[in-house]
Every structure is written in C-alpha cells, then in structure tokens.
A and B are shown apart, each in its own frame.
Chain A
Amino acid sequence: MTHSRLMQLATNDEGFCFDPRTGETYQLNDTARLVLTELKKGQSEDAAARTLAATYEIPLYEAETDTQEFMQMLRINGVI
C-alpha cells in the first residue's frame, strides 16, 4: 500500500523527519527509519517487515509487529 503523504515526508540520515504539509517534525529510531525508507521505495508493509527482519536478524513476526506499530503511530499522528 502506498500512501502519498508518506512519500512526501523528508528524512535525513540522523532520523530527522519533516512533514511538509503540517510542519510537524519527528525523530525516528533506526528501525523506524528503515521501515519508512522501504515504504518510500514503494515496498509493501510486509516487504518492509521482511527487510527489517533480515537487516536486524530478528524473527519475522517481531519485525511485522514493529512495522505495524510504526504504521499505527503514523496514523495516530495524522501522517497517513
């Protein structure tokens, strides 16, 4: 699933994230930054979770939970 708002988020290597529509800023941890980067590449949430699991060598179910939690935070903050 591609969220157009999500594609507009500006991020840098330090995990700083800026929403150009609202002006809100967020600080992402490394895993959140990785998930966001994958989603912005057009990957699905499932694919982003697989990349997360492979990168950090964690079980897939854990990576899926982390990804879902991140998506939930984006929704709570009105980003998507």
Chain B
Amino acid sequence: MHVAISGMNATDNPGPGVPVARSLRESGAASLIVGLTYDAHDPGNYMDFMIDHVHRMPYPTKGWNALSEALAHVKKIHEIEAVIPCLDVELPLYIKHQNQLSELGIKTFLPTEDQFSLRSKEKLIKLCADIAIKYPETTLVNSIDELQEFAAQDPDWPIFVKGRYYKASAAYNLQDAVHKFIEISADWGLPILLQKPVSGIEINLVGLGDGEGGLCGSVAIKKLMTTSIGKIWTGVTIDHPALNELAERFVSHTKWRGPFELECIQNSEDIFLIEINPRFPAWVYFATGVGINLPERLLRLMQGRDVGRTSEYPVGKYFVRYTYEIVTDISKFFKLASSV
C-alpha cells in the first residue's frame, strides 16, 4: 500500500510521523511511504532510508481547497492509497473532509467530527462523567471578568490555564492567569479552562478504536524522563488494569474511530483523565517495539481487513530516545524550501 504520512517534525518537540512510518516500514505494511511536511527543516524530510518521497504541503490555515489540491497532486505522482494525518493542527480539516478524500481515492481512518469534539477540553468533563473516570476540578471562563471572579474565590495557586483543544500553562497568580488567558484564547478561542493541578504519577496509553466500539490494541506506559517541554525521553511499559479498562470504556462509549492517546494522572486513590489526543502520540514506536504495531493495524482497518485485537506485551520494557545526525546535500533543502 502507498501511504502518505504527515508529522515529519522529528525535533525536540516531535511529531508522530516518523515513528508511524518506521512502524509501517518494519512491518512491510506500506510498500511506499510519502512524507507530508509543512517545513523544509523537518528532519523526517531527510530520512530517505525510511521515507521514500517528501512533499511540502500548504499550511492548514490555507484551508481545505489548498490541502486537497496538494493531496491530489501527491496521489497523481505517487499513487497514494491512504493518508495518516498525525498533527493536531491539521486534524480538523482531515476529519471534516474525510469523505472528499475517499472520493479522491485516498483512504483514512479518522474519528467523526462529533467524536473529535467530545474530547475537546470543555466537553471532556461530561465525557469523564459518562465513562466513570475522574477529571480534575475545572472551571470554564469566557472573559477576564469571569477569571477575576474565579480569583476572588481565593483558589489555591497555581492553576492550569488551558485552551479548549490545545495548550496549557500553569499560572501562579491572577496577573499571570490573565496573561495566559489572553495568550491562549488568542490562539484557540474561548472558553478557557481553569484547572486545579492533580498530583501523582503521569501514565499514558496509546490505543486504536475500530469505530464500532472495539479496541484494536493498546499499550500503557509511564514516562520516566521528559524533556524541558514534557516530551518523553525514557519510559517503561506498565500493566495497569484500571487504565486498560478506561480505554475499553472510552472506545466502547464513543465508538472511537482511529488512534488515540489517553493522558492520565494516578494518585494513591484514583486515576484522573487529563487529556485525550485524537491521534498517535510521538512515542507510538514504543508500542510497535513491544509487539503492538498500531499503525499497521490502522492500515488494515482502512483496508477492511481483519485486525489483531491483542494487547499482550511485555511489562518493564524500556524506551530510550536518542539523537542522530544526517549529512546530506543542501540542494534537498532548497528543493523543499522552494516548493509550494
């Protein structure tokens, strides 16, 4: 199968594209991999041992017409049969227009718009109640006046100030919170969520929903070491029955279609669901490395083929990222930088 994958930014803030490509390459599920990049600097663009071809794409802010034209062009050249969008910022466009992609002959396996919206942070409160999982104490505010009213109740600082879909930052006082409210709402709109921090151990799970309420595999991990921006550097597989059950309940309740990541905090008594990411995380190769190749299963779902459901993997497997250098010709950079 010829597959296009975005998220070539294997940087210190890594996108999932390269590990997804690696998973497909190692399994032999993709006979040709085309990297879709937004930036000529993305390291994945130069990994010709893993990515066969690279195309620079118009930014999602250019809208669907520009994106579909670019995808049609990539299809014409490389006969791609499927696309795996891996980046938060492009997902709404791909999700909204998945039927048009299908008409173009490009398969996807994405959540519906309704499913996507369920995990927006303001709706996550209700979803958590529906699937019987705790969510940190959260207040929604739509204006700085409401933020000031919240602060007048003398909350325990710090408070997490969160955008409805993405971005979160700790605020240590009202002035700090106002600054972050303005910054985050400018990018992601309103409402803004004010969330009480939960202490405990951060645990994560990557999974794949079949769109009919079934879970096509999952792997749970704990991040042992993270970078200054919270990205995993080392981690370990864990066996957490309650987290596995949560994944089952989430998929069953929402009939989730496609990959997802659950970000949770475990304290001495409870698990709190902090966030649901509607895509593979950048650490997805960890799951592949322990025998649960979710990108391969995703392709099988796209093709309507039988897909493995097992989630049996060894516990205590250790994940380590490392840095690596590629020396290539500047002409490759120029070619990408001058395209689109």
> Contact check: which of B235, B240, B268 meets A21 at CB < 8 Å?
B240
Q: A18 to B317: give the CA distance in the assembly, Å.
A: 11
In the bound complex, do residue A23 and residue B268 qualify as a contact, i.e. CB atoms below 8 Å apart? no
Residue of B with least CB distance to A78: B268
Residues of A within 8 A of B121 (CB): none
Decide if B315 touches A20 in the complex (CB within 8 Å). yes
How many contacts between A and B, using CB within 8 angstroms?
Answer: 32
Interface residues on B, range: 10 to 19
Which of B203, B241, B267 is the one whose CB lies under 8 Å from A23? B203
- A78→B235 CA distance, assembly (Å): 20
User: Is B222 at the interface (CB under 8 A from chain A)?
Assistant: yes
Chain B residues touching A, majority SS? strand
> In the assembly, what is the distance between CA of A18 and CA of B236, in Å?
10
* Alpha-carbon separation in the docked complex, A1 to B316 (Å): 26
A54 within 8 A of B: no
> Which residues of chain A are within 8 angstroms of B222 by Cβ–Cβ distance?
22-24
Q: Please tell me if A73 contacts chain B, counting CB pairs below 8 Å.
A: no
Asked if A6 lies at the interface with its beta carbon under 8 angstroms from chain B, I say no
Tell me the chain A residues, 48-78 only, with Cβ under 8 Å from chain B: 78
- Which DSSP category, helix, strand, loop or mixed, fits chain A's interface? loop
With A23-B221, A23-B236 as contacts: A18 and B203 at CB distance below 8 Å: no
The chain B residue sitting closest to A23, CB to CB, is B222
| Most chain B Cβ neighbours within 10 Å, of A10, A18, A21, A78 | A21
In the complex, per-residue mask of A1-39: 1 if CB is within 8 Å of any chain B CB, else 0 = 000000000100000001011111100000000000000
Let me know if A10 and B316 touch, CB within 8 A.
yes
Pairwise interchain contact A22-B316, C-beta atoms closer than 8 A? no
Rounded to whole angstroms, the CA-CA distance of A25 and B240 in the bound complex is 15
What residues of chain A lie closer than 8 Å to B268, measured between beta carbons?
78
Closest to A19 in B: B238
* Cα–Cα, bound, A20→B241 (Å): 11
Query: Which of A10, A20, A25, A78 has the most B CB atoms < 10 Å from its CB?
Result: A20
CA distance A18 to B224 in the complex (A): 12
Shortest C-beta distance, A25 to chain B (Å), equals 8
Contacts of A22 in B (CB 8 A): 201, 203, 222, 238, 240, 266
Q: Give the CA-CA distance A18 to B321 in the complex, in Å.
A: 21
* Known contacts A23-B224, A78-B268: A18-B316 contact under CB 8 Å: yes
Decide if B239 is an interface residue (CB 8 Å cutoff).
yes
Q: How far is the CB of B273 from chain A (nearest CB, A)?
A: 16
Report if A20-B201 is in contact (Cβ < 8 Å); known contacts: A10-B316, A78-B268: no
Q: How far is the CB of A14 from chain B (nearest CB, A)?
A: 15
Residues in B whose Cβ lies below 8 Å from that of A23? 201, 203, 221-222, 224, 235-238
For residue A24, which residues in chain B have a CB less than 8 angstroms away from its CB?
A: 201, 222
Closest CB of chain B to A11's CB: distance in Å?
A: 11
Choose among A22, A24, A78 the residue with the greatest number of B CB atoms under 10 Å from its CB. Answer: A22
Q: Which residue of B lies closest to A20 (CB)?
A: B315
Q: List 21 A-B contacts (CB under 8 A).
A: A18-B316, A20-B315, A20-B316, A21-B238, A21-B240, A22-B201, A22-B222, A22-B238, A22-B266, A23-B201, A23-B203, A23-B221, A23-B224, A23-B235, A23-B236, A23-B237, A23-B238, A24-B222, A25-B224, A25-B236, A78-B267
Q: Could you tell me which B residues sit within 8 Å of A by CB distance?
A: 201, 203, 221-222, 224, 235-241, 266-268, 315-316
